[in-house]
């Protein structure tokens, strides 16, 4: 049986710090990636930390996307969690890499709800 | 070098469906667990799906907590993502298990930002 959910953990390294530093820009990039992957957006929130860093979450009908950025390290941690078969979370990866100018990345995908049998 | 972040993925099985079904109750449980683990809460949102299911996110200074519930399956997927050394995400586990009456669970912890060197 397929898992109930797919959870993609995406590590972005050597990004453009300017693209990680502004909540409006981060919001635009993550919402764009969600839309490109066919997500149905329910609601979202993005928070600008001082002196730097952004945290954002997009709740979608298929579960969520989340991002935390460390501009001073050129690093962002992104999660794309989907349930159902209509949305493929891996389709978010390329637009996210491009949006933040990541020169290195790592992806791990974890099945959620595997113990439901 | 320690990882930048700790990401605990918590699978809750055989939960009390009533405790998974109401956004207000789910919010109370997740916010309580965050507080017990010493999180500094920035903002939160919880969404009630129809006919059933709740998605919720708590943005904390240390990163985030997220939950998605499937009352009809007695299942919830929870994430606790923290950065820094002040908050231990594993301290959220016991209060969350108790709040939802989970009779089975699985925990995976993944280091985030490991490629920063």
Inter-chain CB proximity B64 and A55 less than 8 Å:
yes
Q: For residue range B92-112, list pLDDT tens digits in order.
A: 999 999 999 999 999 999 999
- Nearest CA to CA, how far is A18 from chain B (Å)? 18
Inter-chain CB proximity A68 and B83 less than 8 Å:
yes
Q: Which of A34, A103, A11 is nearest to B115 (CA)?
A: A11
What are the structure tokens assigned to A59, written together?
Answer: 């709740």
User: Among this protein's residues, is B63 annotated catalytic?
Assistant: yes
| B13 contacts in chain A (CB < 8 Å) | 115-116
Beta strands in chain A (DSSP E): 5-13, 41-48, 54-60, 63-70, 75-83, 104-112
Q: Which of A35, A102, A36, A95 is nearest to A69 (CA)?
A: A102
Q: What is the ipTM of this complex?
A: 0.95
Confidence (pLDDT) at A68: 98
| Residue A104 predicted with pLDDT over 60 | yes
Confidence (pLDDT) at B1: 55
Q: pLDDT tens, position by position, for chain B (117 residues)?
A: 578 999 999 999 999 999 999 999 999 999 999 999 999 999 999 999 999 999 999 999 999 999 999 999 999 999 999 999 999 999 999 999 999 999 999 999 999 999 997
Residue A117's CB is within 10 A of a number of other CB atoms, namely 6
| Residue A117 predicted with pLDDT over 80 | no
pTM: 0.96
Most B CBs within 10 A among A3, A11, A84, hence the mutation to make, goes to A11
């Amino acid at each position: 049986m397929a898992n109930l959910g797919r959870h993609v953990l995406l590590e972005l390294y050597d990004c453009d710090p300017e693209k990680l530093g502004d909540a409006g820009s981060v919001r635009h990039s993550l919402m764009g990636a969600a839309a490109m992957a066919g997500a149905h957006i329910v609601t979202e929130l993005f928070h600008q930390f001082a002196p730097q860093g952004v945290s954002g979450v997009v709740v979608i009908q298929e579960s969520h996307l989340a991002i935390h950025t460390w501009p001073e390290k050129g690093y962002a941690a992104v999660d794309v969690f989907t349930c159902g078969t209509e949305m493929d979370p891996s389709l978010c990866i390329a637009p996210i890499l491009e949006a933040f100018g990541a020169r290195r990345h790592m992806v791990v995908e974890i099945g959620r709800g595997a113990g439901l049998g």
